[in-house]
Structure 1
Amino acid sequence: MLHDTQTAEGARNACLSALASRFSASALLAGEEIPERNLQDSSFLPPVRPLAVVRPDTAEGVADAMRICAEHGVPVVPQGGLTGLAGGARPIEGAVVVSLERFTGIEEIDPDSATITVRAGTPLETVQRAADEAGFLIALDLGARGSCQIGGNLATNAGGNRVIRYGMAKEMVLGLEYVLPDGTLVTGLNKMLKNNAGFDLKQLFLGSEGTLGIITRAVLRLYPKPGCTHAAICGLASYADVTELLSRARRGLGPMLSAFEVMWPDYWEAATVRVRGVRAPINGPHGFYVLVEMQGLDAEIDGARFERWIETAFEDGVIEDAAVAQSTADITAFWRTRDAAGEFVTFLGAHAAFDIGLPVPVMDIFAAACREKLATALPDVLSLFYGHIADGNMHVVALIPGAASQPMSEIDAIVYDQVRAFGGTVSAEHGIGLKKRKYLRYTRTEAEMSLMARLKRALDPANLLNPGKVLEAEPE
């Protein structure tokens, strides 16, 4: 055992020496030089100090860092904007973190192909702004847009607010460049919408959470910038009315429907009463609150269409009350009710947060059952339910207000047991990481688990890239 320890320490020292020969002092940080921010992501898991943090500013630098670590048998953990909630970017003791934070920038906008080529460390908001200035839209949008990085968005196959119209992050990727666990740089920056030349290799890395490769560049689809955006906050009496309104939105607004966010009363109260700066646009109480957004082409024509659609739903008794946005400021204020979840840690404290998927018809039944199970086991618990719903995605927040520590494991077990009972998925858009790997079997069959392990072994036989993430045990 002592010999093994000395061998491992020697390998780590040799790796550090080789990295120091390749990278400048500003690009390689070790020991106490490592910033606190690189010790954890946003998962509430305890911080871990890695062996070193390498911050390449080229794709070749990422490949060199991975190759050097592979040659010395030292694990690598990729890091992006560190906004992940599942622990996928949390360091591992003795591992080297490869951070993409210095590899940023927009490399090209091709208006004829309607594509944008970006480096993985570029913040999502920067990509959105560049597309907007060029007269286009990047479809992906989520609350952490200012700090999350596009590489991390793709590595976790992020969802966000407009999946109902544009799909998940992988739907916007035409080409991808990535580094394999042995340090090989694979460049496939395709810009063609139609390209069936062999296997679609990029799909292996989209959503793999940095366990199969490190994304370095991407070619993303651009969409026409909407000519107008319209939104409303609606109060409804029942979940049956929610599903009826969704059906009407799909029929009446068609492809212009860009968001359909549903908030249960417990969430609404927490967002509009407890979170400072969030105002309720409509009076209550109501059984449900729905934010509907439509992106159209012509403000006058499509604005009138949206208002008629709202009025008809009100006249037919589907909607009890509604506030229709009259300005961009109103739309921003409406979205604040939904984005308030991002501030719960400030106003509610540490809590268990869940990103689950369920069949749309059973979501309210699930919420009632889950709320009851939590309250029975933890009488002082506060549970909140909200989500995108139209794409089958619900979020759950649970905590014991004022508790010195939260019973996270107990809460996890209760919620995920209910997810399994209702035929859902333990991750709709946030990934598996560390926090959900023991529950992955609740969602995947044994044959699927075996296939994922085989893919990991094929690409990473030494289990060096983000080991222990997603799959609970090392692949055999």
Structure 2
Amino acid sequence: MDKLLNDLVAVVGPEGVLLGEDVSQRSVDWFTGAPCRAKAIVRPRNTEQLSKVMALCYQADQLVVTHGGMTGIVHGGEASPEELVVSLELMNQIEEVDLVGSTIQVQAGVTLQRVQEAAAEIDMQFPLDLGARGSCTIGGNIATNAGGIRVIRYGMMRQQVLGLEAVLSDGTVVSSLNKMLKNNAGYDLKQLFIGSEGTLGIVTRAVLRLQPHMPSEQTALVAVPSFDALTQLLRRVSQELANSLSAFEALWNSHYKLVTTESGKHAPPLADDSPFYAIIETLGLDDTQDAEHFSEILQKAMEDGLITDAVLASSGAQRQGIWAIREDIEVLVHQLKPMFSYDISLPIPHMDAYVDTLEQNLKAQFPQTGKMIVFGHLGDGNLHIMITVRDDSSQSRRQVEQLVYSPLKEYGGSISAEHGIGLEKRDYLNISRSSEEIALMKRMKVALDPKLLLNRGKVVAVE
């Protein structure tokens, strides 16, 4: 290892290799703050350096774990003392913005927020958006196929990527920085790396699609009397706001009450006695007309009993206040500590029955300590479930995981909607994927990483 570290220093320079406390003071888990245990952290500044780093690691049979913004929550960034971490934090340049082609080319270590700001500077938008925008990186967004609050309109990260560049485990650079919407010249190789969580290659650069800036933004928080009314409301706004609906977020009462009145962190814009709440947002071009249309639709929904109360944001501050209730994960971590977090998806018609059954089973197994809160991107079938049993032992975790994941097979759901598999969900992958699919994933892993050096054991376990 010492020889390898010396060779790596020769490639990236002394400032490019971190050792000792510079490694251990870094966290690999956003929720628990668990420290990094890797032997060293290597920080290349460009693709050429990373290629040389991986070639050296390949020759030495050195295991490598990739780090981006470290906002993941499925233990994908965990590293043992025998592993090296490759961090892309110094590969953080925006290389090109093309107004005519509506693209932006960036290095993998650029944060999502910087890309959003660069797009705004040319009166465009990069539509992917999530709460960790200030720290998550584009490489991590690609590696996990990130989702967020605007999937209902713009799709997942996969839909935002036109081309990318990646370095394989042996140092080979696969550069496919395509800038065209149409390119059917053979296999679409970028799809191999999007959502692969760094197990097939390390994404270094990407060409991303930009969308027109929408100057009109309408946001409302509404109280909804039942899950049936919630789904009817989603169907109605999807039809009547089809060209402008950008977000439809659902908050179960448990979430809304905890984040507002119980924690005291946020003043509740609406009373906390409704079983469901929804944040509805549109993006458009004419603020006056959009606001009038938006208000009319909500008024009609209230008259029809789909909404019992509503507050419409009339300023940027009010809009941020509404979204803060949805995005304040820190208050959940504090109130539910120790907390287990789950990110699942299933067909919308089954959601209510799934949540009710899960809550009943949780209370049956943990009658004194079990508590759960639910919220999520209802428009795209994604629920976030936070559970505490006031005990974070491995036995309790396994019990809760079984409660959460096992019913999903019956409903045709997924154990991971947008956070990936990592180590945490690997043993449950067969709930959402067939044996044939998993076997093919393993064949792909061996084909692209024959020594199993990249994020070994993550997503799928290959002997």
The TM-score normalised by the length of structure 2 is 0.97
Evaluate the alpha carbon distance shift between residue 226 and residue 275 of structure 1 in structure 2; reply closer, same or farther with a 3 A threshold: farther
1:460 aligned to 2:449? yes
- Contact in 2 for aligned 1:159/1:168 (Cα 8 Å): yes
Deviates more, 1:275-284 or 1:392-401: 275-284
CA distances 1:87-131 after superposition (whole Å, capped 9, x unpaired):
111113311100011110211110000001111101111111111
Question: What does residue 279 of structure 2 align with?
Answer: 291
Alpha-carbon distance in 1 for matches of 2:12, 2:34: 29
Q: Tell me the residue number matched to 2:2.
A: 13
In the alignment, what sits opposite 2:66?
Answer: 78
Spell out, residue by residue over 1:22-80, the C-alpha distance to the aligned partner (whole angstroms, 9 max, x if none): 2211101223442521x523264854511211011111111111111011000110100
Cα deviation, 1:412-440, whole Å, max 9, x if unaligned, reads: 12111122333210000000001000001
From 409, 421, 425, the equivalent of 2:410 is 421
Are the aligned partners of 2:23 and 2:36 in contact in 1 as well (CA < 8 Å)? Answer: no
Identify which range, 79-88 or 336-345, moves more after superposition. Answer: 336-345
| 1:392 paired to 2:387 | no
Residue 316 (1) aligns with residue 304 (2): yes
Unpaired runs of 5+ residues, structure 1, are 1-11
Letter of the aligned partner of 1:163 in structure 2? V
Aligned partners of 2:47 and 2:88: how far apart in 1?
Answer: 9
Q: Which runs of 4+ in 1 moved over 6 A?
A: none
In the alignment, structure 1 residue 451 sits paired with structure 2 residue 434: no
Between the aligned partners of 1:139 and 1:343, the Cα distance in structure 2 is 26
Q: Does 2:143 align with 1:151? A: no
Q: How does 1:14-33 map to 2 (within 5 A)?
A: 14-33=3-22
Task: Return the letter of the residue paired with 2:373.
Answer: L
Q: Distance in 2 between matches of 1:210 and 1:126?
A: 22
CA–CA separation in structure 2 for the residues paired with 1:44 and 1:277: 21
2:247 to 235, 251, 259: 259
Q: CA deviation at 1:21?
A: 2.2
Map 1:28-427 → 2, pairs under 5 A: 28-37=17-26, 39-42=27-30, 44=32, 46-379=34-367, 380-401=369-390, 403=391, 407-427=396-416
Which shows bigger deviation, 314-323 or 430-439?
A: 314-323
Q: Which amino acid aligns with 1:95?
A: E
SS at match of 2:380: coil
Amino acid at match of 1:336: A
Q: 1-side partners of 2:134 and 2:62: how far apart? A: 32
Q: What is the alpha-carbon distance in structure 1 between the residues aligned to residue 211 and residue 263 of structure 2?
A: 34
DSSP 3-state at the match of 1:255 = coil
**CA distance in 2 between partners of 1:367 and 1:266 (Å):** 12
Q: Report if the CA contact (8 A) 2:344-2:414 is conserved.
A: yes
What is residue 458 of structure 2 aligned with on the other side?
469
User: In 1, Cα distance between the equivalents of 2:302 and 2:103?
Assistant: 41
Does the Cα contact within 8 Å between 2:31 and 2:333 map onto a contact in 1? no
Q: Give the 3-state SS of the residue equivalent to 2:305 in structure 1.
A: coil
Task: Report the Cα distance in structure 2 between the residues aligned to 1:110 and 1:239, rounded to whole angstroms.
Answer: 44
Question: Residue type matched to 2:197 in 1?
Answer: E
State the shift of 1:293 in Å. 0.5
1:317, 1:118 → 2: CA distance? 47
SS of residue in 1 equivalent to 2:198? coil
Q: Please tell me the residue identity of whatever aligns with 1:206.
A: I
Deviation at 1:189, TM superposition (A): 1.0
Q: Alignment length, in residue pairs?
A: 461
1:144 and 1:274 map into 2 onto residues whose CA distance is: 24
Residues 426 and 143 of structure 1: CA distance in aligned 2, closer, same or farther (over 3 Å): same
TM-score between the two structures when normalised by the length of structure 1: 0.94
C-alpha contact (below 8 Å) 2:259/2:265 kept by paired residues = no
Q: In the alignment, residue 341 of structure 2 is paired with which amino acid?
A: A
User: Structure 2: which amino acid aligns with 1:66?
Assistant: M
- Does the Cα contact within 8 Å between 1:172 and 1:221 map onto a contact in 2? yes
Secondary structure at the aligned position of 1:386 is classed as strand
* Preserved contact between residue 236 and residue 321 of structure 1 (Cα < 8 Å): yes
Offset of residue 86 of structure 1: 0.4
Identity %: 43
- Tell me if the contact between 1:274 and 1:347 (Cα under 8 Å) persists in the aligned partners: no
8 Å contact kept, 2:251–2:278: yes
The secondary structure found in structure 1 opposite 2:456 is: coil
Equivalent position SS for 1:34: helix
Contact 2:339 2:392 in 1 (8 A): no
| 1:405–1:465 CA distance, 2 compared to 1 (3 A) | closer
The one-letter amino acid paired with 2:43 is R
What is the distance in 2 between the residues matched to 1:430 and 1:141? 14
After alignment, is 208-217 or 310-319 more displaced? 310-319
Q: How far apart are the structure 2 equivalents of 1:373 and 1:355?
A: 18
CA contact (8 A) 2:25 2:36 kept: no
Query: What secondary structure is seen at the aligned counterpart in 2 of 1:390?
Result: helix
CA distance in 2, matches of 1:43, 1:231: 29
Shift of 1:349: 2.0
